[in-house]
Amino acid sequence: MRQLWMIVRLELILFWRGKVSWFIMAFILAWGFIFVFAAAHHEIDTLWIWVSVYSHILTLALVFTTGNQIQRDRECQLEGVVLSTPVSTVLYVCGKWLAGLIILLGFAVCYLLFIVGLDLVLPARPYFSPGALPYVLSWLWLIPVPLAFGTALSLWSMVQTGGKRPINSIILLVFWLTSFFNLPDLINLMGGLAKDPASIWTRANVPHGTIPSGAQVQYIVELVKKTIPYVHITPIFELNRLLFLGLSVLLLILTILLMHRQRQELA
């Protein structure tokens, strides 16, 4: 375990010494600003749909920034230094994956804190903020698993292709963009979450596109608090999350086997 955290710590230090973190943070803030003003403050009746879509695109943007840890070590001649110590291939690959996931989750947490704070502080018309809980619970279901899968997929593809970033980007785009098509919910990375099974407008007896009254506004916001994300977390969605966690583990195993074979060929 000590060797694992040594690799994670080294990876975190190398990342934060780079300049790319500032660009990622700028994107996070801009994306959160767009979400709050374009969706959360004007489309609260379809908030779950917008949270799903914006979170899905956010995870795609974040996984684009990872995956090159092992290839970078080779280019900087750090791989031989690390693997010359009593560090197994398993710990090396898992450490790289875990460090990448920690970094991306850190940015995702910043995104969550920013949208919650912005939504609470800025006045919204005709609706008021549903509070932090719907955003936090939605984040827990929508962000960590795709990031874990994307980090593992990107790491595997970069090792498999010898660090060819264009091929890695195409693979990521295929997995993420096909989620917007009519895939079965079980194998849809977004979990079919763009479908809203509980129409808040219908339950509030408000014709879509009309301006609700004060009492209707309060009722709609209360519905949002009670339904997001609870009514959307179906058994199929839970199986979907387990499936992609399993695929993440499988990709890690494939990466470990690939790295082990490459080390044997170089020996």
228: left (phi over 0), alpha (psi -120 to 50) or beta: beta
- The pTM (predicted TM-score) of the whole model is 0.89
> Picking from 72-86, 89-103, 167-181, 223-237, which range would have the lowest pLDDT averaged per residue?
72-86
Break the chain into its structural domains and give their ranges: 2-266
CA dihedral 136, 142, 147, 148 (to 10 degrees): 100
Could you give the angle at which helices 47-63 and 144-160 cross, rounded to 10 degrees? 30
Most trustworthy range by pLDDT among 64-68, 224-228, 243-247 = 243-247
User: How confident is the model over 64-121, as pLDDT tens digits?
Assistant: 988 777 676 666 655 555 555 566 888 888 999 999 999 999 999 999 999 999 988 8
Cβ–Cβ under 8 Å, residues 184 and 236: no
Mean pLDDT along residues 49-53: 89
3-class state of residue 5 by DSSP: helix
In degrees, rounded to 5, the angle at the alpha carbon of residue 104 between the alpha carbons of residues 98 and 106 is: 100
